[in-house]
Amino acid sequence: MNIIPFPARPAAFLLSSLLAAVTPAWSQAWPVKPVRLVLSQPPASSPDIVARLLGERLVKSWGHSVVVENKPGGQNVIGAQRAATAAPDGYTYYYATTAALVINAYTFKSLPYDPRTDFAPVGMIAHSPFVIAVNAEVPAKNLKELIAHARANPGKLSMATEGNRTFSGLMADMFAKTAGLNMVNVPYAGVSPAILDTIAGRTHLIVQSSAALSAHLKSIRPIAVTSARRVPGLDDIPALNETFPGFQYVGWHAVVAPKNTPAPIIQRVNKDMDNVLKEPEIVKRLAELGLFSDGAGTPGQFGEFLRAEHARWSRLAREVGVAADF
The 10s digit of each residue's pLDDT in 306-315 is 999 999 888 8
Q: Are 120 and 197 in contact (CB under 8 A)?
A: no
Write out pLDDT tens, residues 224-262. 998 888 888 888 999 999 999 988 888 899 999 999 999
Residue 16, amino acid: S
Q: Where are the domains of the chain?
A: 31-127+250-320, 129-243
Q: Which percentage of the chain shows pLDDT scores above 90?
A: 62
- The predicted pLDDT at position 7 comes to 41
- The predicted pLDDT at position 68 comes to 96
Under the banding of pLDDT at 50, 70 and 90, the label for residue 300 is very high
SS3 content of the chain, % helix, strand, coil (to 5): 45, 20, 35
Under the banding of pLDDT at 50, 70 and 90, the label for residue 129 is confident
Distances (CA, A) of 270 to 124, 266, 267: 9, 6, 5
Distance CA 193, CA 286 (A): 24
- The predicted pLDDT at position 28 comes to 62
The CATH number that domain 129-243 falls under is: 3.40.190.10
- Is the confidence at residue 73, as pLDDT, over 50? yes
Give the domain 31-127+250-320 fold: D-Maltodextrin-Binding Protein; domain 2 (3.40.190)
**Residues 6+ positions from 321 with CB-CB distance below 8 Å:** none
Return the number of other C-beta atoms located less than 10 Å from residue 225's C-beta. 23
Q: Are 115 and 105 in contact (CB under 8 A)?
A: yes
Write out pLDDT tens, residues 263-273. 999 999 999 99
**Residues 6+ positions from 193 with CB-CB distance below 8 Å:** none
- Is the confidence at residue 20, as pLDDT, over 60? no
Please, where are the H alpha helices in 186-226?
Answer: 191-200, 210-213
Do 31-127+250-320 and 129-243 come out as alike in CATH topology?
yes
- Is the confidence at residue 128, as pLDDT, over 90? no
Distance CA 314, CA 308 (A): 10
Helices 263-277 and 280-288, axial angle in degrees (round to 10)? 80
* Mean predicted confidence (pLDDT) in 131-154: 94
Distances (CA, A) of 150 to 24, 65, 140, 146, 298: 61, 51, 10, 6, 43
Q: Which of 125, 126, 128, 124 is CA-nearest to residue 298? A: 124
- The predicted pLDDT at position 248 comes to 83
Q: Tell me which of 320 and 120 has the higher pLDDT.
A: 120
**Residues 6+ positions from 158 with CB-CB distance below 8 Å:** 183, 184, 185, 186, 203, 204, 205
Helices 263-277 and 299-320, axial angle in degrees (round to 10)? 80
Q: Tell me which of 305 and 129 has the higher pLDDT.
A: 305
Most confident of 2-16, 91-105, 161-175: 91-105
Q: Are 119 and 266 in contact (CB under 8 A)?
A: no
- The predicted pLDDT at position 4 comes to 34
- The predicted pLDDT at position 322 comes to 67
- Is the confidence at residue 26, as pLDDT, over 60? no
* DSSP secondary structure string for all residues of 99-153: IIIIIHHHH-S--SS-TTTSEEEEEEEEEEEEEEEE-TTS--SSHHHHHHHHHHS
- The predicted pLDDT at position 250 comes to 84
